């Protein structure tokens, strides 16, 4: 019986160059594309495949947006599961641990637990009225944290019971790998969904800014690139970085202007219990009402206008695009370093010409958290439905005293 | 060497003979004898087996005495102690990582680990402190801004560390650097979050801090004693010294201990009252009207036990019923934290986490069973004991928009009318 732990003890101490490469993944380009492009040289063929798939992804994106918030939520969930699967599979390949007892089941179990916890915390708030009506759901909501914790503990105990002699180190590695992956993929995806519920514009503008930065940095690099940016990614250049930054800010600015006009994108997503559907209808907040801004004297000479009509949101979009261009790429460098550390070319082969889903989403990694933190810090106050939920849990006497306090406040303000 | 291994009475670490044979190529973590000279001299006459017993015994008493002293000193000191323990545990686990990967000289990495520890602590302390010191924070201008944009500032600090990590990646060391990055984050997840949950529990009332920790310690000691005197059937391959007799005996002994300790503690306000910060005196106070949990109630004894005990009713604090849940968790699930730590030590071929406490190992060795307990107590309190804080809810309400406020008000009104708390819609 092979002592895997002994092997790992030696491997862990070795230099990167001594670690054997993971066998390259197979080419999953569909046959039809291959035949259509068989005439072209390899370089152009690659360009075309990438181009076609890019257009396919963008069209898919527009289609899902059209279908509404619920479909978007499902899409985010599917992407999260796929990213998780890709990273875990890399772990298996790195450690040759595909046959480890229980481990595949345990990884999926932990994914389920953490998703259950997060969905219970966030989504339940939005479906408050739906939940109030059903008794069983009320119980699940009330003791949600306890139930989630009990589920997680079960997984933890099963892990401890599954520890096998000579495989300890391997099992601990996979345990840690699973948890770090959960931390990265699952928390990000839930923050994305929370941003989405704040208003589709908070979902669309950041993601598009990152994609735009990717594309424009590449184009600027292609035409003007000369000074390398970082040793990790030798193809990135300073010209591409700076050009991408300015283009992305401009793009974000213009894109926000278009989206801010439609209630569909601007209003928080709410669940209508009568029609049992998601609705996005509201009185647009001040962020999305045109205001007159004075153009600073510097720009007055350039532009020729004294004032300009803009949405306040466009100012925020500058912050979002700036983050997407300056810090977002660090997510990409992190993923590049990770791929070099574990000697893999792409995360997976899901998308021909592009690699895996993680390859497309590595720059989005930090963006979702930033947008969420930005919204909670600068835009929105506390969440009304969550507040309501907590009020309804209080003891009746406490509810009565809170009611009286609220009533006097509202009368004082003249709302009642 | 073999006889020496049998003298090791600590059931939680891997047996000496096994770990020594597995050392193989990797150099063992140096295990120097930390016992203070005075103890060495006093015990020089006894055989090594009894000497070990005495050293462990003396250190155990020293730790328990220290525990009592800091309880006496109050919540602020306790909080500081928890913080120190957390830092030491973090240091121990990170050092193990360095030893495993021989990565002590990795560029930036020691600095980065401590920086991340600082960031995460800043985030958690900011969140807790803002809640408890609300009025103090609102008064001082710099604190107010720090508290208002707390999440953003914490995130910015973390991002700085992340970017530094990316910029510090060095060719031929990528894998190692990613390992240490992962190791740091998992350690933070385990150590720092637990310590903050402990502090939350502490602020709920010192009894919520003392009873769980004492139950885990009691279970440790009781399981060991039962195992020593009656132990025959091994419990789990990971820790060959644990036995079923010890496990079950420890369980019953711990539940009984929990009941008795809770009874004694529930009588004192300093243990049962939530810790509050008094703005006028600028100090912590534990003074309140004890909640229902800590008021004696008459319970009817189930018929089964009446014949055994001889009483028809008994006067107990409701909290003692909760203590049964806490002790049960400490005895049944707590040990899994210990097994996890044993597996970890075997995986990385170390005997103890460190050598801080003579005869006992490192701080982590003492706290491995506490690992899950703090989270359980926190989840238990949030689910079954305390509801949301009404004044905090009112504060949040005041920051909403008028239309949102009206919506909430009307829903609450309809709810209260439904429950019959308000007469009719017109009366309200």
From the list B174, B344, B402, which residue is nearest A415 (CB)? B402
Mean of all residue pLDDT scores within chain B: 78
From the list A5, A9, A406, which residue is nearest B409 (CB)? A406
| Residues of chain A above pLDDT 70, percent | 80
- Per-residue confidence band for A101, with pLDDT thresholds at 50, 70 and 90: low
DSSP string, B205-262: -THHHHHHHHHHHHHHHHHHHHHHHH--SEEETTEEEEEHHHHHHHHHHHHHHHHHHH
Q: How far apart are CA B208 and CA B105, in angstroms?
A: 42
List CB contacts (< 8 A) between B419 and chain A.
396
Instruction: Note whether B178 contacts A337, CB cutoff 8 Å.
Output: yes
- A248 exposure class (CB count in 10 Å sphere: 0-12, 13-18, 19+): buried
As separate numbers, helices (DSSP H) first and strands (DSSP E) second, chain A gives 20, 6
A41-45, B10-14, B204-208, B329-333, range with the lowest pLDDT: B10-14
* Highest averaged pLDDT of the listed ranges A95-109, A194-208, B126-140: A194-208
For an interface test with B, the pick among A102, A163, A234 (most B C-beta atoms closer than 10 Å) comes out as A163
DSSP string, B39-103: HHHHTTTS-HHHHHHHHHHHHHHHHHHHHHHHHHH-HHHHHHHHHHHHHHHHHHHHHHHHHHHT-
For an interface test with B, the pick among A121, A147, A152, A169 (most B C-beta atoms closer than 10 Å) comes out as A169
Instruction: Note whether A163 contacts B174, CB cutoff 8 Å.
Output: no
Q: Using alpha carbons, list the distances in angstroms from residue B327 to A272, B216, B261, B324.
A: 45, 8, 11, 5
The closest of A248, A252, A247, A245 to A201, measured between CA atoms, is: A252
| Residues of chain B above pLDDT 70, percent | 79
pLDDT in tens, B264-323: 988 888 888 887 777 677 677 777 777 878 888 888 877 777 777 777 788 888 899 999
From the list B186, B383, B397, which residue is nearest A143 (CB)? B383
A91-95, B35-39, B232-236, range with the lowest pLDDT: B35-39
Mean of all residue pLDDT scores within chain A: 80
Within the 103-142 window of chain B, which residues sit less than 8 Å (CB to CB) from chain A?
A: none
**What residue of A is the nearest CA neighbor of B408?**
A388
- Per-residue confidence band for B5, with pLDDT thresholds at 50, 70 and 90: very low
Q: Are strands B313-316 and B283-285 parallel, antiparallel or unpaired?
A: unpaired
- Per-residue confidence band for A42, with pLDDT thresholds at 50, 70 and 90: low
What does the pLDDT read at residue B250?
Answer: 92
What does the pLDDT read at residue B25?
Answer: 35
What does the pLDDT read at residue A350?
Answer: 66
Q: Using alpha carbons, list the distances in angstroms from residue A315 to A134, A329, B153.
A: 43, 22, 20
- Per-residue confidence band for A4, with pLDDT thresholds at 50, 70 and 90: low
For an interface test with B, the pick among A4, A7, A8, A16 (most B C-beta atoms closer than 10 Å) comes out as A16
Q: Which residue has the higher pLDDT, B284 or B21?
A: B284
Q: Which residue has the higher pLDDT, A215 or B393?
A: A215
What does the pLDDT read at residue B15?
Answer: 33
Residue B113 burial (CB count, 10 A): 24
Per the structure block, which two tokens stand in for A367? Answer: 């963006």
Q: Where are the domains of chain A?
A: 26-67, 386-415
Q: Are strands B313-316 and B297-300 parallel, antiparallel or unpaired?
A: antiparallel
- Per-residue confidence band for A266, with pLDDT thresholds at 50, 70 and 90: confident
From the list A183, A400, A409, which residue is nearest B185 (CB)? A183
Per the structure block, which two tokens stand in for B162? Answer: 């992340």
Instruction: Note whether B333 contacts A340, CB cutoff 8 Å.
Output: no
Interface predicted TM-score of the whole assembly (ipTM), two decimals = 0.83
pLDDT at B347 over 70: yes
pLDDT at A321 over 50: yes
Q: How far apart are CA A288 and CA A310, in angstroms?
A: 9
**pTM here?**
0.81
What contacts B389, CB < 8 A, 6 or more positions away?
none
Distance in Å, alpha carbon of A312 to nearest chain B alpha carbon: 18
- Per-residue confidence band for A65, with pLDDT thresholds at 50, 70 and 90: confident
Instruction: Note whether B393 contacts A387, CB cutoff 8 Å.
Output: yes
Within the 212-241 window of chain B, which residues sit less than 8 Å (CB to CB) from chain A?
A: 236-238
What does the pLDDT read at residue A169?
Answer: 84
The closest of B246, B191, B192 to B219, measured between CA atoms, is: B246
- B108 exposure class (CB count in 10 Å sphere: 0-12, 13-18, 19+): middle
- Locus of tokens 């993944």: A25
What does the pLDDT read at residue A51?
Answer: 77
pLDDT at A154 over 80: yes
pLDDT at B400 over 80: no
pLDDT in tens, A46-63: 777 777 877 887 788 788
What does the pLDDT read at residue B329?
Answer: 94
**What residue of B is the nearest CA neighbor of A387?**
B393
CB B56 within 8 A of CB B64: no
Per the structure block, which two tokens stand in for A33? Answer: 């594309």
Report residue A354 CA to chain centroid gap: 18
A130 touches chain B (CB under 8 A): no
Q: How far apart are CA A216 and CA A223, in angstroms?
A: 11
What does the pLDDT read at residue A364?
Answer: 81
From the list B339, B379, B387, which residue is nearest A394 (CB)? B387
- Per-residue confidence band for A401, with pLDDT thresholds at 50, 70 and 90: confident
- Locus of tokens 């021909």: A352
pLDDT at A132 over 90: no
The closest of A290, A278, A293 to A69, measured between CA atoms, is: A278
- A48 exposure class (CB count in 10 Å sphere: 0-12, 13-18, 19+): middle
A42-46, A386-390, B153-157, B188-192, range with the lowest pLDDT: A42-46
- Per-residue confidence band for A130, with pLDDT thresholds at 50, 70 and 90: low
What does the pLDDT read at residue B7?
Answer: 32
Q: Using alpha carbons, list the distances in angstroms from residue B290 to A5, B274, B287.
A: 55, 9, 9
pLDDT in tens, B75-124: 888 888 889 989 988 988 888 888 877 766 776 778 899 999 999 999 99
What is the mean predicted confidence (pLDDT) over B373-393?
Answer: 80
What is the mean predicted confidence (pLDDT) over B138-150?
Answer: 78
Within the 346-405 window of chain B, which residues sit less than 8 Å (CB to CB) from chain A?
A: 346-349, 372, 375-376, 379-380, 382-384, 387-388, 390, 393-394, 396-405
CB B379 within 8 A of CB A143: no
Q: Which residue has the higher pLDDT, B49 or B320?
A: B320
Q: Which residue has the higher pLDDT, A192 or A47?
A: A192
Instruction: Note whether A384 contacts B400, CB cutoff 8 Å.
Output: yes
Instruction: Note whether B399 contacts A145, CB cutoff 8 Å.
Output: no
pLDDT in tens, B225-254: 888 888 888 888 888 888 999 999 999 999
Q: How far apart are CA B144 and CA B137, in angstroms?
A: 6
* A235-243 LR contacts (CB < 8 Å, sep 24+): A236/A329, A241/A217, A241/A325, A241/A329, A243/A216, A243/A217, A243/A219
What does the pLDDT read at residue B32?
Answer: 45
Q: How far apart are CA A267 and CA A277, in angstroms?
A: 15
What does the pLDDT read at residue B29?
Answer: 40
Q: Nearest 5 degrees, angle CA A373-CA A379-CA A381?
A: 90
pLDDT at A205 over 80: yes
Instruction: Note whether A377 contacts B149, CB cutoff 8 Å.
Output: yes
What is the mean predicted confidence (pLDDT) over A190-219?
Answer: 89
């Amino acid at each position: 019986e092979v002592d895997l732990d002994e092997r790992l003890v030696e491997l862990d101490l070795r230099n990167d160059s001594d670690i054997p490469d993971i066998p390259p993944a197979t080419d999953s380009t569909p046959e039809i594309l291959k035949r259509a492009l068989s005439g072209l040289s390899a370089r152009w063929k690659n360009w075309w495949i990438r181009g076609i798939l890019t257009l396919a992804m963008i069209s898919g994106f527009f289609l899902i947006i059209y279908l509404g918030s619920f479909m978007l939520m499902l899409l985010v969930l599917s992407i999260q599961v796929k990213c998780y699967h890709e990273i875990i599979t890399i772990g298996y390949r790195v450690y040759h641990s595909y046959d480890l007892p229980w481990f595949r089941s345990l990884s999926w179990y932990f994914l389920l637990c953490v998703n259950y916890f997060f969905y219970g915390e966030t989504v339940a708030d939005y479906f408050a009225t739906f939940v109030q009506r059903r008794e069983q759901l009320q119980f699940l909501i009330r003791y949600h944290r306890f139930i989630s914790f009990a589920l997680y503990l079960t997984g933890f105990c099963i892990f401890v019971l599954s520890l096998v002699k000579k495989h300890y180190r391997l099992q601990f590695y996979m345990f840690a790998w699973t948890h770090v992956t959960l931390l990265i993929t699952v928390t990000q995806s839930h923050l994305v969904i929370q941003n989405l519920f704040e208003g589709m514009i908070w979902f669309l503008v950041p993601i598009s800014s990152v994609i735009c930065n990717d594309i424009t940095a590449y184009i600027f690099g292609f035409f003007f690139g000369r000074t390398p940016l970082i040793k990790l990614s030798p193809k990135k250049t300073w010209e591409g970085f700076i050009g991408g930054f300015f283009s992305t800010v401009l793009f974000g600015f213009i894109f926000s202007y278009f989206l801010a006009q439609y209630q569909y994108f601007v209003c928080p997503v709410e669940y209508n219990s009568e029609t049992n559907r998601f609705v996005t209808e509201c009185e647009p907040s001040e962020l999305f009402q045109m205001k007159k801004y004075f153009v600073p004297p510097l720009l007055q000479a350039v532009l020729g206008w004294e004032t300009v009509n803009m949405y306040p949101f466009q100012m925020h979009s500058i912050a979002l695009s700036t983050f997407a261009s300056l810090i977002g790429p660090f997510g990409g460098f992190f993923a590049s370093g990770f791929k070099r550390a574990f000697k893999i070319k792409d995360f997976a082969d899901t998308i021909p010409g592009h690699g895996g889903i993680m390859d497309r989403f590595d720059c989005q990694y930090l963006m979702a958290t930033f947008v969420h933190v930005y919204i909670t810090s600068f835009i929105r106050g506390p969440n009304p439905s969550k507040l309501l939920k907590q009020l309804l849990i209080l003891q009746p006497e406490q509810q009565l005293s809170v009611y009286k306090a609220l009533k006097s406040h509202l009368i004082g303000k003249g709302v009642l | 060497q073999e006889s020496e291994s049998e003298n090791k009475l600590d059931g939680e670490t891997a047996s000496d003979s096994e770990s020594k044979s597995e050392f193989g190529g990797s150099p063992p973590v140096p295990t120097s004898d930390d016992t203070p000279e005075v103890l060495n001299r006093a015990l020089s006459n006894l055989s090594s087996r009894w000497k070990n017993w005495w050293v462990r015994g003396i250190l155990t008493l020293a730790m328990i005495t220290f525990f009592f002293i800091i309880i006496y000193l109050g919540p602020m000191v306790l909080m500081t102690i928890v913080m120190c323990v957390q830092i030491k545990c973090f240091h121990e686990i990170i050092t193990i990582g360095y030893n495993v990967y021989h990565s002590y000289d990795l560029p930036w990495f020691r600095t980065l680990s401590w920086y991340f520890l600082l960031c995460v602590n800043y985030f958690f302390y900011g969140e807790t402190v803002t809640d408890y010191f609300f009025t103090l924070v609102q008064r001082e201008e710099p604190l107010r801004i720090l508290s208002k944009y707390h999440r953003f500032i914490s995130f910015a600090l973390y991002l700085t560390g992340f970017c530094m990590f990316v910029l510090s990646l060095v060719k031929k060391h990528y894998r190692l650097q990613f390992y240490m990055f992962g190791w740091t984050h998992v350690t933070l997840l385990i150590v720092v979050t637990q310590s903050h949950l402990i502090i939350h529990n502490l602020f709920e009332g010192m009894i919520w801090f003392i009873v769980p920790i004492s139950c885990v310690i009691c279970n440790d000691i009781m399981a060991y004693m039962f195992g020593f005197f009656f132990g025959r059937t091994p419990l789990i391959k990971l820790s060959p010294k644990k036995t079923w007799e010890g496990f079950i005996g420890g369980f019953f002994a711990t539940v009984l201990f929990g009941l008795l300790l809770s009874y004694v503690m529930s009588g004192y306000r300093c243990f049962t009252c939530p810790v509050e910060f008094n703005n006028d005196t600028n100090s912590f106070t534990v003074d309140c009207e004890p909640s229902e949990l800590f008021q004696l109630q008459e319970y009817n004894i189930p018929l089964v036990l009446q014949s055994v005990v001889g009483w028809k009713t008994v006067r107990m604090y409701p909290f003692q019923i909760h203590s049964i849940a806490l002790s049960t968790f400490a005895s049944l699930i707590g040990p899994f934290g210990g097994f996890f730590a044993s597996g970890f030590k075997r995986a990385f071929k170390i005997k103890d986490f460190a050598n801080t406490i003579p005869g006992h190992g490192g701080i982590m060795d003492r706290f491995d069973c506490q690992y899950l307990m703090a989270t359980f107590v926190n989840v238990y309190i949030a689910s079954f004991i305390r509801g949301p804080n009404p004044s905090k809810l009112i504060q949040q309400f005041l920051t909403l928009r008028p239309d949102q406020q009206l919506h909430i008000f009307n829903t609450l009104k309809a709810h209260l009318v439904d429950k019959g708390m308000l007469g009719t819609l017109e009366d309200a």
